[in-house]
Amino acid sequence: MITTILDFLTAGFLLLGASFALIGSIGLARLPDIYTRLHGPTKATTLGIGSILLGSVLFFSTRQSLSLHEVLVSLFLFLTAPVSAHLIARAALHRRCRSLAPPPKAGDVKRLHIDES
């Protein structure tokens, strides 16, 4: 009974992860400029791989001892994805790649006021 529930949870995490990874990959291919393309792999695909690894932890922990390899891979992924996205964005800014988003108007930008009392 409990193994059936864990099998369904594992399948659910695998399907959820595959869906997120597919959506992130489509976003990478379809979005127009480099700044919007960063969101596909860093957000959706990270969630997708995290869900797949969670399903893998459930599967292998019930058949063997507690599996921590997937936890280490998830930790590495969640630490390196934002860093690599930041480096790609900085390289695009350095190369002066244009964004297709309209620039903000002068009146639209609100200034941050810090009260130092």
114 lies in some domain = no
Structurally, the chain folds into a number of domains equal to: 1
| Rg, Å, the chain Cα set | 20
Tens of each residue's pLDDT in the chain, 117 residues: 888 899 999 999 999 999 999 998 898 888 888 888 888 778 888 889 889 998 998 888 877 777 778 888 888 988 888 898 899 989 998 998 888 877 767 666 566 555 555
* Residue 7 belongs to some domain of the structure: yes
Cβ pair 94, 36 in contact under 8 A: no
pTM: 0.74
Nearest alpha carbon to residue 30 among 18, 17, 44, 16:
44
Residue 106: inside a domain, yes or no? no
